[in-house]
Amino acid sequence: MSVGLSIGQVAERTGLSVHALRFYEREGLLADPVRRESNGRRVYTEDDVEWLNMCIKFRSSGMPLDTIRKYTDLVRQGRGNERERLALLRSHQEHVAAQIEELNECMRVITHKVTIYQQHLDDGTADCLWVAPSTTADASAAS
């Protein structure tokens, strides 16, 4: 089934650089240190790729490498610590929820500004309303 992938192939299909892949490995982010060919070259399995994709999801949702390492350690230790894994996941879940909240709020503010600029540009009123080269001009647009 799993043919064995070179680091270059894994880089290609995960979008991580080969540098990053080696870096992640050094950092202990792979459940088991990648197998090697006789010549020392890394051989990745499809499972490794799947795991990496999960790490990428974790990273891109703001989980620090350190926490990913903790999670990896738990998984590596095997059965018995499922509660801990769950706690870690839940905590990250909350974190992500908070981020989404925050971004939505930012979005609200930005969209408001965009709308106002757009309106004034449409009106051709821009030249009348933007008076001072100051904070205030933009702030009044923001408020």
Partner DNA sequence: GACACTCATAGACCCCACTCTAGGTCGTGT
Partner DNA sequence: ACACGACCTAGAGTGGGGTCTATGAGTGTC
Binding residues for DNA, per CB under 7 A?
Answer: 6-9, 11, 16-20, 22-23, 36, 38-42, 59, 64-66
- How near is the Cβ of 16 to DNA at its closest, in Å? 7
> Which residues are bridge partners to 35 per DSSP?
43
- Residue 22 binding partner per list DNA, its own copies, none, with a CB distance cut-off of 5 to 8 Å that depends on partner kind: DNA
Residue 72, Cβ density class (10 Å: 0-12 exposed, 13-18 middle, ≥19 buried): buried
Residue 58-97 contact track with its own copies, rule CB under 8 A, x = bound: x-xx-------------xxxxxx-xx-xx--xx-xx--xx
C-alpha to C-alpha distance for 113 and 123, rounded to whole angstroms: 15
> Which residues are bridge partners to 95 per DSSP?
none
C-alpha to C-alpha distance for 19 and 11, rounded to whole angstroms: 9
- Residue 113 binding partner per list DNA, its own copies, none, with a CB distance cut-off of 5 to 8 Å that depends on partner kind: its own copies
C-alpha to C-alpha distance for 51 and 53, rounded to whole angstroms: 5
Residues that bind its own copies (CB under 8 A): 30-32, 47-48, 50-51, 54, 57-58, 60-61, 75-80, 82-83, 85-86, 89-90, 92-93, 96-97, 99-100, 102-107, 109-111, 113-114, 117-118, 120-121, 126-127, 130-139, 142-143
